[in-house]
Amino acid sequence: MSEIMIQPQDELEVLIEEQGFDDHFHEHHHGDKYQSNFISHYIFSMDHKIIARQFLMTGIFWAIIGAAMSIIFRLQLGFPEGDLTWIKPMLGKWIVVENGIGTLSPEFYYSLVTMHGTILVFFVLTAGLSGTFSNLLIPLQVGARDMASPFLNMLSYWFFFLASVVMFYSLFLSTGPFSGGWTGYPPLSALPQASTGSGTGMTLWLISLTLFVVSVLLGGINYITTVLNLRTKGMNMWRMPLPIWAFFVTAVLGLLSFPVLASGFFMLMFDRGLGTSFFLSEIFIEGQALDRVGGSPILFQHLFWFLGHPEVYIIILPAMGIVSEVLSVHARKPIFGYQAMVLSILAIGFLSFIVWAHHMFMAGVNPFLSNFFVVFTLIIAVPSAVKVFNWITTLYGGNIRFNSGMLFAIGFVSMFISGGLTGIFLGNSAIDIQMHDTYFVVAHFHIVMGIAAFFGMFAGVYHWFPKMFARFMNETLGKIHFWVTLIGAYAIFWPMHYLGMAGVPRRYYSFDTFDAFRHFGPMNQFITIAAIVVFGAQLLFVINFFYSIWKGKKMKTKNPYGSNTLEWTTPIETGHGNWPGKIPVVHRWAYDYGKDGKEFIPQIIPLEEGEVAGEDIH
Quote the distance between the C-alpha of residue 165 and its chain's center.
20
The three-state secondary structure class of 155 is: helix
- Assess contact for 443 and 500: CB atoms under 8 A: yes
Q: Is the pLDDT assigned to residue 325 strictly greater than 60? A: yes
- Specify the amino acid at residue 549: I
Instruction: Quote the CA–CA distance of 375 and 379 in Å, as a whole number.
Output: 6
- Assess contact for 278 and 294: CB atoms under 8 A: no
pLDDT tens-digit readout, 2-19: 444 445 566 667 776 666
Please, what is the end-to-end C-alpha distance for the chain in angstroms? 31
Which residues neighbour 421 within 8 Å (Cβ) at sequence distance 6 or greater? none
CATH superfamily of 9-281+291-608: Cytochrome c oxidase-like, subunit I domain (1.20.210.10)
Give the model's pLDDT for residue 618: 61
Q: What are phi and psi of 583, to 5 degrees?
A: -85, 135
pTM for this model (two decimals) = 0.94
Please say whether the dihedral angle defined by the alpha carbons of residues 343, 345, 346 and 352, taken in this order, is positive or negative.
Answer: positive
User: Beta strand pairing status for 95-98 and 101-104?
Assistant: antiparallel
Instruction: Quote the CA–CA distance of 463 and 404 in Å, as a whole number.
Output: 8
Give the model's pLDDT for residue 8: 56
The domain ranges of the chain are: 9-281+291-608
pLDDT tens-digit readout, 540-590: 999 999 999 999 999 999 999 999 999 999 999 888 888 888 899 999 999
Give the model's pLDDT for residue 21: 63
What DSSP state is assigned to residue 594? E
Q: How confident is the model at residue 276 (pLDDT cuts 50, 70, 90)?
A: very high
Instruction: Quote the CA–CA distance of 182 and 449 in Å, as a whole number.
Output: 15
Q: What are phi and psi of 314, to 5 degrees?
A: -60, -30
| Listed residue (584, 594, 615) closest to 19, CA to CA | 584
Instruction: Quote the CA–CA distance of 385 and 417 in Å, as a whole number.
Output: 8
Instruction: Quote the CA–CA distance of 305 and 53 in Å, as a whole number.
Output: 30
DSSP output for 92-108: GGGEEEETTEEEE-HHH
Mean pLDDT in residue range 312-341: 96
